[in-house]
């Protein structure tokens, strides 16, 4: 990795962002497994360089949509850990009043127009946002984060077709982590995902999703194209989820669906460790990195303590926001 074009402050802020996602989700994982946190929790651990690499090229005016594995996207786009933690705990003080939960977080003030429990659902929403961006002419762009499994939904083809035809400022970020729930991509996905864009004349790139700099540079090219009115881009980020599909899977799966040696090999390629190694090569001291980790640990602790103490929503709130 080379760090050309980013200042030390920017690089440390990127480190802070990736470490925030990691520590936040390690906390969630522990609370989910201990039964404190009800409901399914899908963590993003291992994929942090994708969300942070893309969002580091965006502003609050750009829009993102995300997935059931969406905490990383929310935090990378500037959503606050406390607002997210409270939402996942289902509290009234959560960013969506406790009614969205882990899979349906949104923060319109930061262009986070929604995570989505419907696999592929965010692709259509981002395409609509890209059309809105084109119509208001302010140079905004819209990003759809989705998985390799979602790439097999028909909506991806519909989105690429219309985005290519109308030159929409849309960036399709496919996070290919090799699995769709418990199915290997090799068993359910034909061909090379980034090649599918060629059929629509949409420029595409395959990047190492565990290499922040590589993702960041490709995102820079895609965002420039979108802002210049040159239309959509498809980015396939090759990555891996180090945890299971869902934190509770050990309670219902009869047997393992992936080799421990495979997980271990990817753990060696941990995107945060790789980024820290780059920083340690003459940019930041071990003490500086450790100070950031401690600062984040305190932030996560505070968010969790506040979330646990905050009130549940009033039952009447269930009937609010039903109609516009």
For ligand TPP, the closer of residues 81 and 147 by Cβ is 147
Q: Is 150 in the site for ligand TPP (CB under 6 A)?
A: yes
Instruction: Identify which range of 69-77, 113-121, 177-185, 283-291 contacts Mg ion by CB under 5 A.
Output: 177-185
Residue pair 146/67 in contact (Cβ under 8 Å)? The answer is yes
Which listed residue (26, 92, 158, 181) binds ligand TPP by CB under 6 A? 181
107 binds, among ligand TPP, Mg ion, none (CB under 5 to 8 A by kind): none
Helix axes 212-227, 48-55, angle to 10 degrees: 40
- For Mg ion, the binding residues in 129-158 under the rule CB under 5 A are 147-149
Neighbours of 187 (CB within 10 A): 8
Residues 210 and 271 sit within 8 Å (Cβ to Cβ)? yes
To Mg ion, the closest distance from the beta carbon of 308 in angstroms equals: 31
Residue 3 Cα distances to 160, 275, 287, 300, angstroms: 32, 10, 20, 28
Q: Which is nearer to ligand TPP, 63 or 145 (CB)?
A: 145
Stretch that binds ligand TPP, among 7-15, 33-41, 66-74, 197-205 (CB under 6 A): 66-74
Choose the binding region for ligand TPP from 13-21, 145-153, 208-216, 230-238 (rule: CB under 6 A): 145-153
Rounded distance between C-alpha atoms, residue 193 and residue 273, angstroms: 27
Query: Would the CA dihedral through 114, 196, 240, 33 be positive or negative?
Result: positive
- Residue 188's nearest CA partner among 243, 147, 158, 159 is 147
Nearest to ligand TPP of 242, 279 (CB atom): 242
Binding residues vs ligand TPP (CB under 6 A):
67-69, 117-119, 146-150, 177, 179-181, 245
Binding residues vs Mg ion (CB under 5 A):
147-149, 177, 179
């Amino acid at each position: 990795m080379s760090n050309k074009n980013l200042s030390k402050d920017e690089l440390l802020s990127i480190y802070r962002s990736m470490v925030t996602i990691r520590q936040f989700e390690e906390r969630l994982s522990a609370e989910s497994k201990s039964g404190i946190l009800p409901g399914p929790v899908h963590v993003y651990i291992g994929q942090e360089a994708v969300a942070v690499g893309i969002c580091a090229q965006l502003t609050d005016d750009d829009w993102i949509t995300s997935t059931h594995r969406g905490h990383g996207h929310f935090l990378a786009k500037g959503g606050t850990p406390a607002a997210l933690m409270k939402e996942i705990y289902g509290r009234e003080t959560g960013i969506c009043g406790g009614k969205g939960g882990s899979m349906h977080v949104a923060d319109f003030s930061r262009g986070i127009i929604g995570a989505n429990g419907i696999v592929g659902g965010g692709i259509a929403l981002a395409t609509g946002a890209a059309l809105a961006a084109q119509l208001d002419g302010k140079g905004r762009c819209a990003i759809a984060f989705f998985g390799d499994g979602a790439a097999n939904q028909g909506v991806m083809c519909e989105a690429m077709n219309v985005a290519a035809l109308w030159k929409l400022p849309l960036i399709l970020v496919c996070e290919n982590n090799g699995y769709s729930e418990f199915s290997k991509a090799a068993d359910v996905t034909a061909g090379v995902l980034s090649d599918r864009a060629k059929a629509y004349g949409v420029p595409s790139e395959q990047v190492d999703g565990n290499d922040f700099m590589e993702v960041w540079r490709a995102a820079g090219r895609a965002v420039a194209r979108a802002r210049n009115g040159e239309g959509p881009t498809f980015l396939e980020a090759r990555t891996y989820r180090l945890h299971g599909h869902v934190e509770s899977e050990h309670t219902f799966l009869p047997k393992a669906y992936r080799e421990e040696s495979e997980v271990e090999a990817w753990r060696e390629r941990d995107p945060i460790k790789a980024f820290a190694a780059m920083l340690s090569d003459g940019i930041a001291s071990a003490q500086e990195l450790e100070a950031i980790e401690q600062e984040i640990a305190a932030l996560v602790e505070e968010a969790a303590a506040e979330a646990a103490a905050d009130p549940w929503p009033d039952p009447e709130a269930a009937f609010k926001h039903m109609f516009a």
